[in-house]
C-alpha cells in the first residue's frame, strides 16, 4: 500500500512539474505559469526537486500565485529564494517583472524600476506577447509614479500592438492621460511614430484656446492621421470636448456682493472680470453677455437660481461669500453650472459646482514643489499662530511629505517680541541636529519677514534659504521695505511679476490700485472670466492647464481650481524674477 502511494505521489508531482512550465522556447528558457496546485504543493515540490531549473520554475510559480492571492510578503520571501542570475533570459524577465509588481504593491516605484533594470529586460521584445504586456504595464505604472510621464507613455505605446478590444481601448485612454499631462515644450519634440501622433494631438489641443478652437484642431489632426489609434477612436475626454463645443455660452450671471465687508474685494474682482470681457470684444470675439446680481441682497439661493434661469443664464460666476459657497457645496445638484469665487472645505460638492480663489494653500503647495525641484528634503517652518496658519502649514506638509520630504522644526509666529527667540530656537535646532533643516518655509507678513530674515543673519544662519508665500510681498513699490529681506524667495501672481502685460497696464491705468497688492484680486477677476469658457476643458482634460494672471490654473478631482505660481527673489530691495518651477 505504501509503495502504491509513493508511486501515485510521484506521478502527481511529475504532472505538477509539467503544468508549471510552458513548452521550451529555444535559448530563452521555459516560462512558469500558474498551475492547478496549491501554494504549499508548489513549495513542497520545489524543495524535493533535484533539478535547480525545475525548482526555480516552481518557486517562480509559487511567488506569482502568492502575489495573485495578495500574500505579498510571502511572495517576496519565495522570490528571494530564486537564483535569478542562474536563470535563462525569459525566466529572468519574469522574475524581474514579478519583483516590480510586488514593489508597486507596496508603493515603491523606485524599487520597481530597479528590478526592471535587469539586463534581461533589454530582450523583452523577444518574449511571448503576454509577458511583454505584463512587463510594459508594470514598467509604465512605476515610471508614472516616479513622475517620468513621457517614459511611461512610451512603455504603454510599446505594448499597444499586443492588445485588442477593451484592453486596447483602456491602454489608449491611459496613453492619452499621460501625454495630455506633458508640458508643451516636451510635446514639441514629437516624431512621426505612434507616440509622436499622440503628442501632436495633445499639442494641437493645448495650443487651441476655446473649446470650439480645440474641436477644430482635433478634426484637422484626425484628417491628417486617419490610421492612428486616437483617430479611429477618440479618447473619452476629447469626445466630451466635442459635446461641449456644440453648446456655446451666450449669457453669464456675475453674482457678487455690492455692500458689506466684501464690497471692496468684490469691486476689484468685478473690474477685472469686466476688463477681460471688453478685451475679448476688442479682439473680435463674440463673448457672452453679462448680467449682474447682488449677493448681499440675496434672501434665498433657490430664488436666485429661478430668476437666473428665467433670465436665460447658462453659467453663474460667484458667489464670493464663504457661507454661500458652503451652502452650494452641500447640495446634491445645482440648476445652473456655477463657478464659486471661494472655497468650501470638506467633500466634493455637486457636479455643477466649480470653486476658484486665491487660496494660500495653493502657495504652500507651490513652495513644496519648488523646494523639491531645488533638491531639498528637510524643511523648517514658520507660520502665524491660529487657524489660517494651521491650514497653510498642513497644505505644505501634506505636499512635502507625500513626495519624501520631512519637516524637522516648526515655530508659530505670535507676538513680535517673541520672534527673535523663535528664530533662535529654529537655528539652534538646526545646529544640534544630525539631519538639520535645509530651508525655511515662511508664511508671514512683510513686517514679520523684515524681522525674521535679519534675525537669521544675526544668528549666523544667513545661509539658510527662505522660501515664502506671496504674503511677504506688499507690492508697495517701497524699496526700503525689502532691503532687509535679501535672498528671500517667494511665489507670486504673474499679474504682479509681469508689469508689462497689456491687460494689466490697461487696468492699472484706469484703477491705479491694481498695480499694488489689490492687483491679485483684479488678476483673479480676469482669470474667472477666462475660466467661464474653459471649465469644460479643465474637466474633460484633468491634466491640462491655463496660463492665467493669478497663476497657472489646473483642476483638482474635487473641481477646485488650483494655482501654480511663478517665483521671484528680493535682491538689494528689488524684486528679481526667477525661472519657473520645473514640471
Q: In 349-418, which ranges are continuous DSSP H helix?
A: 360-373, 387-402
| Mean pLDDT computed over 326-339 | 96
Which residues contact residue 4 at a Cβ distance below 8 angstroms, ignoring those fewer than 6 apart?
A: none
Q: Give the position of cell 535587469.
A: 118
pLDDT band at 567 (very low <50, low <70, confident <90, very high): very high
The per-residue pLDDT for range 38-92, each reduced to its tens digit, is 878 888 887 888 888 888 888 888 888 889 999 999 989 999 988 888 888 998 9
Determine the 3-state secondary structure of 386 from DSSP. Answer: coil
Is 470 exposed, middle or buried, given 0-12, 13-18 or 19+ CB atoms closer than 10 A?
A: buried
Which residues contact residue 65 at a Cβ distance below 8 angstroms, ignoring those fewer than 6 apart?
A: 34, 39, 42
- Identify which of 158, 91, 157 has the alpha carbon closest to the alpha carbon of residue 120: 91
| Mean pLDDT computed over 473-502 | 89
Separation CA 461–CA 75 (nearest Å): 50
DSSP conformational letter for 124: G
Is the preceding peptide bond at 114 cis, omega within 30 degrees of 0? no
| Mean pLDDT computed over 393-411 | 94
Separation CA 67–CA 74 (nearest Å): 8
Query: What is the structure's pLDDT at 326?
Result: 95
- Identify which of 537, 553, 514 has the alpha carbon closest to the alpha carbon of residue 273: 514
Separation CA 355–CA 349 (nearest Å): 10
Structural domains present in the chain: 2-146 (1.25.40.10), 180-228 (no CATH), 249-355+501-547 (3.40.50.2300), 360-492+567-578 (3.40.50.2300)
The per-residue pLDDT for range 95-134, each reduced to its tens digit, is 999 999 999 999 999 999 999 999 999 999 989 999 999 9
The per-residue pLDDT for range 341-351, each reduced to its tens digit, is 999 977 789 99
Query: What is the structure's pLDDT at 189?
Result: 65
| Mean pLDDT computed over 527-538 | 90
**Where is pLDDT greater, at 207 or 487?**
487
Q: Give the position of cell 510552458.
A: 22
Separation CA 496–CA 492 (nearest Å): 7
Q: Give the position of cell 466649480.
A: 354
Is pLDDT of 427 > 90? no
Parallel, antiparallel, or unpaired for β 552-555 and 561-564?
A: antiparallel
Extract the C-alpha cell encoding 330.
452641500
User: Does residue 426 contact residue 399 with C-beta atoms inside 8 Å?
Assistant: no
Which residues contact residue 239 at a Cβ distance below 8 angstroms, ignoring those fewer than 6 apart?
A: none
Parallel, antiparallel, or unpaired for β 574-578 and 546-547?
A: unpaired
pLDDT band at 534 (very low <50, low <70, confident <90, very high): confident
Separation CA 428–CA 167 (nearest Å): 58
Is 170 exposed, middle or buried, given 0-12, 13-18 or 19+ CB atoms closer than 10 A?
A: exposed
User: Does residue 555 contact residue 561 with C-beta atoms inside 8 Å?
Assistant: yes
Separation CA 336–CA 78 (nearest Å): 58
Amino acid at each position: 500500500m505504501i509503495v502504491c502511494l509513493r508511486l501515485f505521489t510521484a506521478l502527481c508531482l511529475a504532472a505538477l512539474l509539467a503544468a508549471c512550465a510552458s513548452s521550451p522556447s529555444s535559448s530563452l528558457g521555459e516560462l512558469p505559469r500558474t498551475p492547478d496546485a496549491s501554494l504549499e504543493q508548489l513549495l513542497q515540490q520545489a524543495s524535493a526537486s533535484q533539478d535547480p531549473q525545475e525548482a526555480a520554475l516552481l518557486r517562480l510559480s509559487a511567488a506569482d500565485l502568492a502575489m495573485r492571492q495578495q500574500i505579498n510578503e510571502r511572495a517576496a520571501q519565495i522570490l528571494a529564494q530564486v537564483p535569478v542570475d542562474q536563470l535563462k533570459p525569459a525566466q529572468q524577465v519574469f522574475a524581474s517583472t514579478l519583483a516590480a509588481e510586488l514593489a508597486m504593491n507596496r508603493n515603491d516605484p523606485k524599487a520597481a524600476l530597479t528590478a526592471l533594470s535587469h539586463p534581461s529586460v533589454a530582450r523583452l521584445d523577444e518574449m511571448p506577447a503576454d509577458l511583454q504586456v505584463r512587463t510594459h504595464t508594470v514598467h509604465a505604472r512605476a515610471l508614472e509614479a516616479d513622475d517620468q510621464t513621457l517614459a511611461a507613455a512610451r512603455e504603454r505605446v510599446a505594448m499597444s500592438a499586443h492588445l485588442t478590444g477593451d484592453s486596447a481601448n483602456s491602454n489608449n485612454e491611459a496613453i492619452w492621460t499621460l501625454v495630455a499631462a506633458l508640458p508643451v515644450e516636451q510635446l514639441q519634440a514629437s516624431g512621426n511614430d505612434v507616440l509622436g501622433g499622440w503628442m501632436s494631438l495633445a499639442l494641437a489641443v493645448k495650443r487651441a484656446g476655446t473649446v470650439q478652437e480645440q474641436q477644430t484642431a482635433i478634426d484637422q489632426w484626425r484628417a491628417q492621421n486617419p490610421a492612428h489609434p486616437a483617430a479611429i477612436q477618440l479618447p473619452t475626454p476629447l469626445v466630451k470636448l466635442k459635446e461641449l463645443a456644440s453648446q456655446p455660452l451666450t449669457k453669464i450671471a456675475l453674482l457678487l456682493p455690492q455692500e458689506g465687508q466684501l464690497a471692496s474685494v468684490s469691486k476689484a474682482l468685478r473690474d477685472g472680470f469686466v476688463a477681460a470681457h471688453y478685451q475679448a470684444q476688442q479682439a473680435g470675439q463674440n463673448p457672452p453677455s453679462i448680467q449682474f446680481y447682488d449677493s448681499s441682497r440675496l434672501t434665498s439661493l433657490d430664488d436666485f437660481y429661478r430668476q437666473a434661469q428665467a433670465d436665460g443664464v447658462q453659467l453663474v460666476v460667484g458667489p464670493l461669500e464663504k457661507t454661500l459657497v458652503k451652502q452650494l457645496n452641500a447640495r446634491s445638484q445645482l440648476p445652473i453650472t456655477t463657478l464659486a469665487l471661494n472655497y468650501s472645505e470638506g467633500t466634493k460638492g455637486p457636479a455643477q459646482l466649480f470653486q476658484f480663489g486665491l487660496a494660500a494653500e495653493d502657495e504652500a503647495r507651490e513652495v513644496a514643489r519648488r523646494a523639491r525641484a531645488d533638491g531639498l528634503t528637510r524643511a523648517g517652518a514658520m507660520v502665524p499662530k491660529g487657524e489660517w496658519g494651521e491650514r497653510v502649514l498642513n497644505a505644505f506638509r501634506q505636499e512635502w511629505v507625500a513626495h519624501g520630504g520631512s519637516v524637522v522644526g516648526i515655530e508659530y509666529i505670535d507676538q513680535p517680541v517673541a520672534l527673535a527667540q523663535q528664530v533662535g530656537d529654529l537655528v539652534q535646532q538646526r545646529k544640534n541636529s544630525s539631519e538639520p533643516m535645509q530651508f525655511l518655509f515662511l508664511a508671514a507678513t512683510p513686517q514679520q519677514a523684515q524681522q525674521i530674515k535679519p534675525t537669521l543673519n544675526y544668528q549666523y544662519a544667513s545661509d539658510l534659504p527662505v522660501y515664502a508665500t506671496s504674503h511677504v510681498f506688499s507690492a508697495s513699490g517701497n524699496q526700503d521695505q525689502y532691503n532687509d529681506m535679501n535672498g528671500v524667495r517667494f511665489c507670486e501672481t504673474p499679474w504682479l511679476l509681469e508689469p508689462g502685460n497689456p491687460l494689466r497696464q490697461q487696468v492699472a491705468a484706469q484703477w491705479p490700485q491694481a498695480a499694488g497688492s489689490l492687483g491679485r484680486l483684479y488678476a483673479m477677476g480676469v482669470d474667472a472670466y477666462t475660466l467661464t469658457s474653459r471649465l469644460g476643458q479643465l474637466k474633460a482634460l484633468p491634466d491640462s492647464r491655463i496660463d492665467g494672471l493669478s497663476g497657472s490654473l489646473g483642476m483638482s478631482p474635487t473641481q477646485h481650481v488650483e494655482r501654480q505660481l511663478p517665483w521671484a527673489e528680493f535682491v538689494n530691495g528689488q524684486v528679481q524674477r526667477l525661472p519657473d518651477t520645473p514640471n
